Structure 1
């Protein structure tokens, strides 16, 4: 199927999903009742209608081939299944255990479509755990879970493209649930879960560490636990493959969109030319802000228990990454979209819902437009004489503004919850 046709179909589906969200928002009382009486049934129906049936329609009935990163994931899964050693025998930009985890569905069905279904099932498990965690304090939790299943970004990037970034929130959720159950002496469990995450998903999760160390009561104890797991793992990798295990870090040098750098580049180029092949320093500068802002938030809220602020700190880390990292792209929204919906968005407020929907639509539309017009880097204002470039650049700006709004709202939730409560 031609890529333009696929895009038009996505827009049509997005419209239907958006209308569905408006209906769900209008039925708060009904969903509050269902949350008390039939939560499992409604959640299962949502999963079947909004994930399982669409997967069957796309990959079995229409017989579409998986897109996005799935072909690369399948390559890794095949190599791992055949007994290959990660980084040495096959390329991987994930943590060492990731390639072996995604072999699970391939053992059952040797097809790339199995990995997409696996991603959908993992997302649904994470959503169920998120719902279970939030329902104790919100009568809207089931309603939010169904809204999440209708959000265009999650629908397209997980159901269609099989992206795995929602696993980041899954890992943070496990850590958060642990701190809820263990109000004291939680450092060993948190350190163990954090170390296992770094071995399982991506090194990017390390961005969360400085902020967490600020709010835990015994940071040294947590670091010792992490070192007890991490040092032997790194030592084993180095013994087997030398420094090839650094492969995931080297993947962060490519410049992507939308972020603060991509939108400010026309202004930057007025003073200094950026060599895209030697852009490591740009990412290092972005990294400073990505780590500093959430850590500052954690410091301001350090008198609160970690279980009260961990979701907000997590959101801040990944939204800062998307704002400040020149290598960040729109698909990373999936990492914290679920957390934003449950922890930041108030569906009773029109502005909140508007930002949520605009951000979701932009995440689907902007990357396609950018690729379709040739992935331009706006190195001069003269490039905006092309109306397509100007349109795509405007989409990038809107994206970044939405990220900034999410960061601002999250900051208020973490640092000034009393102010929000009286607003």
Structure 2
């Protein structure tokens, strides 16, 4: 199917999903009633209608091949299934256990479509656990879960492309739930969960650690527990494959969009030329802001218990990553989108809803336009004389503005005096 046809179909689906969101927002009383009486049935129907049936239609009836990273995931899963050793026998830019995790569905059905279904099931499990965590905090929790299932970004990047970034929120959610259940001496359990997450998903989850260390009561204890889990794993990897286990770190040098650097590059290039083959310094500068800002937010909220602020710190960390890391791309919004819906967005406020919808539409449209016009790097303002370039550049700016809005609202949620959660 031609790529433009696929894009137009995506736009049509986005419109239908947006209308579904508007309807869902208008029926708060109905969803509140279902939350009390039929939560499992409602959630199950949402999963079937918005994830399972579309997956069947796309990959079994229309017989489309999985896109995005799925072909590379399938390559890794096949190699892991065959007994290959990660980084030595096959390439991987994820944590060492990831390839073996995604090989599980391949044992059942040796087809890349099985990985997409696995990603959908993982996302739905994380969403159900998120809903259960917020259920006692808001009568709108089930409504928010349905809104999330209708969001175009999640629908496209997880259902169609099989992205795994929502696993980041899943890991943070497990740590948060543990601190909710064990309000004192939680460092051992939290440290073990954090270390296991680093071994399972991506090294970028480490960005949350500085803010976490500022927020916990016993940071040294947390670090010691993480070291007790992580150092033997690193030692084993080094014993087996030398420094090849550093492969995931080497995947952070490619310049992507949209982020603060990509929109400011025409002005940066006026001062000095950026060599795209040697852009490591740019990412290191971005890393400083990615780590420092959530850490500063954690410091400002240090009087609060970790279980009050952990979701906000997580959002701040990964939205900062998208703002300041020059290698960040639009798909990474999946990492914190679910948390934003439950923690930040107030569906009673029209502006909040507009920002949420704008972010989702931009996340779907901007990457396609950027790739379609041959991935331009705006090295001078004169390039914006091209109408196509100008249009895509404006999409990037709007995207980055949405990121900054989320960061501002997250700061207010974490740092300012806590307000009672409204029903």
Equivalent residues in 2 for 1:166-181, closer than 5 Å:
166-181=166-181
Counterpart for residue 39 of structure 2: 39
Q: Secondary structure at the match of 1:137?
A: coil
- Long gaps (5+) in structure 2: none
Partner of 2:128: 128
Alpha-carbon deviation of 1:420? Answer: 9.2
Structure 1 distance, partners of 2:357, 2:149, is 13
Q: CA deviation at 1:385?
A: 1.1
What is residue 338 of structure 2 aligned with on the other side?
Answer: 338
- Contact 1:141–1:342 (8 Å) recurs in 2: yes
Structure 1 position 97, deviation (Å): 0.2
- Alpha-carbon displacement from aligned partner over 1:155-189 (angstroms, at most 9, x marks no partner): 00000000000000000000000000000000000
Hey, what does 1:17 align to over in structure 2?
A: 17
CA offsets 1:318-364 (integer angstroms, 9 cap, x no match):
00000000000000000000000000000000000000000000000
Q: Could you tell me whether the CA contact under 8 Å between 2:80 and 2:86 is conserved in 1?
A: yes
Give me the CA root mean square deviation: 1.0
Sort the Cα spacing of 1:342 and 1:77 in 2 relative to 1 into closer, same or farther, 3 A. same
2:352 alignment partner in structure 1: 352
The whole-number CA distance in structure 2 between the counterparts of 1:119 and 1:242 is 31
Runs of 4+ in 1 over 3 A off after TM superposition: 417-422
Q: What is the distance in 1 between the residues matched to 2:23 and 2:169?
A: 27
C-alpha contact (below 8 Å) 1:413/1:420 kept by paired residues: no
Paired residue for 1:314?
314
- The alpha-carbon deviation at position 421 of structure 1 amounts to 8.1
Paired with 1:260 and 1:419, the residues of 2 have a C-alpha distance of 32
Displacement of 1:123: 0.2
Q: Output the CA distance in 1 between the equivalents of 2:4 and 2:99.
A: 31
Say whether residues 1:244 and 2:244 are aligned partners: yes
**Aligned twin of 2:386:** 386
Structure 1 residue aligned with 2:8: 8
The number of aligned residues is 422
Pairing 1:358-377 to 2, within 5 Å after superposition = 358-377=358-377
Cα distance in 1 for partners of 2:214, 2:359 equals 30
> Measured at CA, do residues 160 and 395 of structure 1 come closer, stay the same or move farther in structure 2, by a change above 3 Å?
same
Distance 2:149 2:421 in 1: 28
Counterpart CA distance in 2 for 1:188 and 1:6 is 48
1:144 match:
144
Contact 2:137/2:421 (8 A) holds in 1: no
Instruction: State the shift of 1:418 in Å.
Output: 4.1
Could you tell me how far apart the structure 1 residues matched to 2:271 and 2:208 are?
33
Gaps of 5+ in 1: none
Instruction: Report the secondary structure of 2:189's partner residue.
Output: helix
The 1-side partners of 2:260 and 2:405 are apart by: 14
- Displacement of 1:417 in angstroms is 3.5
Q: 1:311 to 1:23 in 2, by over 3 A?
A: same
- Corresponding residue for 2:100? 100
SS state of the match for residue 269, structure 1? helix
1-side partners of 2:84 and 2:171: how far apart? 26
